[in-house]
Structure 1
């Protein structure tokens, strides 16, 4: 008996192999904890997928509703977007989303409330067969306001200036009169057409840049579902100018952007009255555009659209023999007494502002390339930019010299006006 008790006492005091015993006892909970961690890591990954699908669906819903689609139709489409994004995520069970939209003046906010479950592999051993996922996604869409754009393109022969320094040099090197402008158009009998030289040499003129940029803008708008909110009227200085009717309306207000692009293609350099000049009658031109502008509104409907007048010009106004005092108000120099010139008078733009229209100006810098610049432009050249700046509404004046500068100035001006189409998540 004493021997047995001694053995038992020695066994109780023996610590050899304790770590193995303890590890064996702890292995089960350690394994379970690791398994639960894997389950919840998988759930977090799937929750990110679920949220991404909810974000896409909510954005789809709010955009469609803001564009006039019925709530039922928009929500059904958004449900399809949600399901489509989760199509290959079989681990998610009972994935659902519901929507609610709050409307404020010109601002729509849709909230998507989503939920789903994901089965566990290890946590179910401790009585947790699934993990619940869910959350909300919110998207806002500032509905575009209806806007009318009246685009006035200076197509006088000074806009035939080659658009880059390299092309200016090319024109001067390859024309009989070393003219850097595509002046003297094909319509002038008895004069060599520098316009044909420009085309044959592959020279891009400033007018070419303006036209291409307008078409790019139309293409950009056409790809957005908001395109119906923007209408354009395109104006150009008449090909055959008369002082009493100097502006030709090339299109009425339209949102047919494909047709508008064709209209822009038809803008050509002005044929001249005297065989020497393609003139720009800015004052009477702007006055005739004013007559076409409807009453400006808050942009809530097409009938109450906001109005914008965008003038693309080098800012020099011409006056010739036979013009009335109405046009001669701008005269600064008359070197030959038959062809007078001067800078735009910013007060000519005031009528647009009084009518609550926003006036935007892109100034295609008038460069000294010889020809008639010393006599007809140099005396007032320093006044052109300040006067055009005053003509424009605050913050709506831009300038471009080279072709890319002109294009970027135009794009910046237009995006400033239409760039309020934004989605936020």
Structure 2
């Protein structure tokens, strides 16, 4: 009995027994940390692949965007799911290259927005946790992206080709013309075989109308390079008339998605001819009439979400000074009913009220301090010209370019600003 009592009372092996009992959970805990860190690393790689797939499937140059712009309604885009799948697995390498992954992809168009969702799940094998009977850990994640498709747009290019646009394009051109003719304007006067217009041509002087024509043609090339589909942009080109005797809104090129053809037609843009000096008291620049007529030509404005629901943009290029018979409603003083004034913005409002955007490229009206007519009639409101032009333009779509700057570059910058739209967000 004493031997049994001593055995029961003996505590000398407790530490060893407790250590043995704790070994399994301690090893399991350490293994959990290692396996968990490994699983997080694998998940990070898969998440990066999912991000790339969600974004890449609806990138600007993707088949999904091109397909979406041909769709007349909403719905899924199967080709985007294929692209997302391929992009995801192209990111796999090393361990992830052999890892079975369940992938769920959804790409749909709603209005002009593409929504992309890529979800993944996988089982990552464990090492140390197998001691506790857990052979794998589940990981999962989701990536989303959104893209607004480029809008379908119609551009109505209203180009001021009235006699004031015959001024030299730069200060140097003005000086050359004044030295030869005594005048800064290359008036295309038809009663004289030799006139300021022919003098400008012989001197190699660039008139402002020349630069505007060239800039418009260059813009058709920009539009071709920027479009996603062949019919995304359409352009029409209009002037104030080819001759003063029939001064009215004139179609140089009707609205057309064949931008190469529009470019060719724009060769016809030139300075309005006049039969003789001071014809019709030089009242040949009626912005009121041009804007009113454009309002009848421009079709109802749409959202731009499809080729049958297009945004409408009036792209107006001018030096901003109207000169027309307007005896009772002119915003400045008149002489014999002749009204010389900055653009009357009340004629811009009807277009805006219909949802038409107005983009204005103001080609700075050159001060002519040695010209008595300028000093008497234009100089008093010279500072108001850009303000009125800016007020006529839709928010953010006004650009002024001075004679020493590039009209072509300015026109391109204004065009790119007009077509810009939100991009991918994820």
- TM-score, length-scaled by structure 1: 0.69
The match for 2:423 is 422
Contact 2:81 2:106 in 1 (8 A): no
Equivalent in 144, 163, 175 of residue 172 of structure 1? 175
The residue that corresponds to 1:83 in the other structure is: 86
Aligned pair partner of 2:228 in 225, 230, 236 = 225
CA shift for structure 1 position 313: 1.2
Q: Which moved more, 1:302-311 or 1:41-50?
A: 41-50
Counterparts of 1:20-169 in structure 2, within 5 Å, are 44-45=44-45, 48-49=48-49, 51-59=51-59, 60=62, 63-64=65-66, 66-69=68-71, 74-80=77-83, 82-83=85-86, 86-87=89-90, 89-90=92-93, 92=97, 93-94=99-100, 97-101=103-107, 104-114=110-120, 134-163=140-169, 167-169=170-172
Of the three residues 261, 265, 274, the one matched with 1:263 is 265
Q: How big is each residue's C-alpha offset from its partner over 1:190-210, in whole Å with a ceiling of 9 and x where there is no partner?
A: 214243156x36x57465156
Instruction: Give how far 1:326 is off.
Output: 5.8
Distance in 1, matches of 2:64 and 2:242, equals 47
Is contact 2:177-2:186 (8 Å) kept? no
* Aligned twin of 2:350: 351
Structure-2 residue corresponding to 1:285: 290
- Deviation string, structure 1 residues 377-424 (Cα, Å, up to 9, x no partner): 224434433433443445544433245475566456544543225332
| Gap change, CA 1:302 and 1:327, over 3 Å in 2 | farther
In structure 2, the CA distance between the partners of 1:181 and 1:82, relative to structure 1 (3 Å rule), is farther
Structure 1: gaps of 5 or more residues = 1-29, 320-324
- Provide the TM-score with structure 2 as the length reference: 0.69
Structure 1 window deviating more from structure 2 (357-366 vs 414-423): it is 414-423
2:194 pairs with 166, 190, 212, which one? 190
**For the residues of structure 1 that align with 2:187 and 2:397, how far apart are their CA atoms?**
33
Task: Report the aligned-residue RMSD.
Answer: 4.6
Structure 1 residue 152, shift from structure 2 partner: 0.9
**Counterparts of 1:287-366 in structure 2 under 5 Å?**
287-299=292-304, 302-319=307-324, 330=330, 332-334=333-335, 341-366=340-365
Structure 1 stretches of 4+ with a deviation exceeding 6 A read 33-40, 70-73, 116-120, 122-133, 337-340
Between the aligned partners of 2:166 and 2:139, the Cα distance in structure 1 is 64
